[in-house]
């Protein structure tokens, strides 16, 4: 009896540590997006600081709507899979390739914009490197891809980098309230009314939302937990990510407005100018270093997830596979269980994108909030259908409101011609995967490939999948476990 409290306390501390490690590791992507999303909004506002806070507040509201719906998605799919699993379950397995195609494009763009923004962070501290921006970004890209040879970085590394960045960012922000506020100069360049200007500008900054959904698929990594544990962890991670990313974004935005920091010139960044204005040289150096490292960790996470997804969809060497959609070579791994051919595919695609954009992250951000919003949209519509089937009108309303907000963001971004390229790439990849699936005989279980890629299954396929055994002639919905149907 006397040992009950210590045992319970140790169990609770262990669960808390695992939750925090998991949550901080999956939020590396959205937290790193702060480095360029706020600047993207300010540029879209033509430098109007008075409208920057409303624009970023609108971003957080939309992200909050997405998180609320993904809270519901995690409850339904505690084994992971995200919007691909939801789309396959709601509309038929063939629809799962829409979010999968969007994810592939999003992984390429995340890698590209992360190494480009990382080079911008370095150049902000060492301006003499500006003429070598493209070479620097490509070198960072090759280094990150090369490190994949030695195996996936653990969640603890991503979690540590995220925490260090947050701590340094808070240290940068602490002196700001004591600094004299700069009165903004009257803005005369506004061609639309303020509400319309905000409505047209905030979708560009929705790059902040990329990766916000990561817990819904990354919970597949938590094999040591049962469905209830993964469901709880996924939900907590979603809301913790929203709270930290939202607070950090709004705090940096307020600081930028208070100090009157204008649109930076091409060889520096908005957050770098904030750090330079608020603190001394040592902290500025630390902030730029942690920013660059966090951005590279975001690129590394996509180098893990992207090839992992291709591997999950690939045939095995002997022709047998759970899915058998893609060529077997994409499932081949090295001694560290890394699918290096897939890494090479993403390396080549990202290098092409970085080169075409001249390693300018603010050019790439115009392409960014498109493919992932296609994934969001189909996931939200899937959850609306599930809510309707379950006769939960409040959830139907929430899902549809979130879908409308996401749809507006998508349409607003597509009004910029550059974004059409991202949509076309998403359609091309999704269509290619669907055609490959049809040619393979429509094998069952393909909608669960995202969850399997996160779980890190190797060729032995250690998790049983009885639904894969039977061929199917059409895109029927993915059968759900009895425990989920009962919910």
Summarised one tens digit per residue, pLDDT across range 13-43 is 667 777 777 888 888 888 999 989 999 999 9
> Is 0.75 topped by the overall pTM?
yes
pLDDT at 28: 83
CB of 444 closer than 8 Å to CB of 472: yes
Angle of helix 97-125 versus helix 361-389 axis, rounded to 10 = 150
- Count of residues in the chain: 487
DSSP letter assigned to residue 469: S
The Cα 294–Cα 114 span in angstroms is 9
3-class DSSP state for residue 326?
A: strand
Summarised one tens digit per residue, pLDDT across range 388-414 is 999 999 999 999 999 999 999 999 999
Which CATH topology does 21-183+192-453 take? Amino acid/polyamine transporter I (1.20.1740)
Which contiguous run of DSSP H or E holds residue 259? Answer: helix 227-259
Summarised one tens digit per residue, pLDDT across range 367-383 is 888 999 999 999 999 99
Report which listed range, 114-123, 142-151, 205-214, 258-267, is most confident. Answer: 114-123
Q: Report whether pLDDT(150) > 80.
A: no
More confident residue, 319 or 49: 49
Nearest to 105 by CA among 475, 327, 420: 420
pLDDT at 154: 56
Q: Report whether pLDDT(121) > 80.
A: yes
DSSP letter assigned to residue 151: -
Instruction: Please provide the average confidence, as pLDDT, over all residues in the chain.
Output: 84
Q: Which two tokens stand for residue 36?
A: 């360029």
The Cα 445–Cα 79 span in angstroms is 13
Domain boundaries, the chain: 21-183+192-453
Q: Report whether pLDDT(288) > 70.
A: yes
In sequence order, the 6+-apart residues with CB closer than 8 A to the CB of 419 are 366, 367, 370, 413
């Amino acid at each position: 009896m006397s040992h009950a409290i210590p045992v319970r306390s140790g169990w609770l501390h262990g669960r808390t540590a695992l939750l925090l490690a998991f949550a901080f590791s999956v939020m590396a992507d959205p937290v790193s997006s702060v480095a360029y999303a706020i600047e993207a909004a300010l540029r879209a506002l033509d430098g109007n600081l008075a409208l920057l806070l409303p624009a970023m507040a609108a971003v957080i509201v939309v992200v909050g709507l997405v998180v609320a719906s993904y809270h519901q998605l995690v409850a339904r799919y505690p084994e992971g899979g995200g919007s691909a699993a939801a789309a396959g379950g709601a509309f038929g397995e063939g629809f799962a390739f829409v979010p999968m195609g969007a994810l592939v494009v999003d992984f390429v763009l995340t890698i590209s914009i992360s190494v480009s923004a990382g080079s911008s962070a370095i150049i902000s501290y060492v301006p003499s490197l500006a003429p070598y921006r493209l070479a620097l970004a490509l070198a960072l890209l090759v280094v990150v891809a090369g490190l994949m040879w030695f195996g996936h970085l653990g969640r603890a590394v991503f979690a540590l980098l995220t925490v260090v960045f947050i701590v340094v960012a808070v240290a940068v922000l602490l002196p700001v309230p004591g600094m004299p506020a700069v009165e903004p100069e009257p803005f005369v360049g506004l061609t639309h009314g303020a509400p319309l200007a905000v409505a047209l500008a905030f979708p560009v900054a929705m790059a902040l939302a990329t990766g916000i959904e990561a817990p819904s698929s990354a919970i597949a990594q938590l094999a040591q937990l049962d469905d209830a544990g993964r469901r709880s962890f996924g939900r907590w991670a979603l809301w913790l990510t929203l709270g930290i990313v939202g607070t950090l974004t709004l705090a940096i935005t307020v600081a930028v407005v208070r100090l009157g920091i204008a649109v930076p010139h091409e060889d520096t960044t908005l957050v770098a100018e904030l750090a330079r204005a608020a603190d001394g040289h040592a902290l500025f150096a630390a902030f730029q270093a942690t920013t660059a490292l966090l951005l590279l960790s975001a690129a590394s996470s996509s180098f893990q997830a992207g090839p992992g997804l291709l591997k999950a969809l690939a045939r095995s060497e002997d022709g047998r596979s759970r899915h058998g959609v893609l060529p077997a070579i994409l499932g081949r791994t090295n001694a560290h269980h890394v699918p290096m051919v897939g890494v090479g595919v993403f390396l080549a695609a990202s290098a092409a994108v970085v080169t075409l954009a001249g390693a300018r992250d603010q050019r790439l951000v115009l392409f960014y909030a498109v493919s992932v919003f296609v994934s969001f949209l189909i996931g939200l519509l899937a959850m609306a259908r599930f809510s309707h089937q379950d006769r939960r009108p409040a959830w139907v309303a929430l899902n549809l409101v979130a879908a409308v907000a996401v749809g507006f963001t998508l349409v607003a971004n597509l009004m910029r011609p550059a974004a059409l390229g991202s949509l076309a790439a998403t359609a091309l990849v999704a269509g290619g995967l669907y055609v490959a699936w049809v040619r393979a005989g429509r094998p069952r279980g393909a909608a669960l490939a995202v969850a399997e890629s996160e779980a890190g299954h190797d060729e032995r396929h250690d998790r049983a999948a009885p639904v894969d055994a039977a061929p199917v002639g059409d895109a029927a919905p993915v059968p759900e476990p009895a425990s989920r149907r009962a919910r």
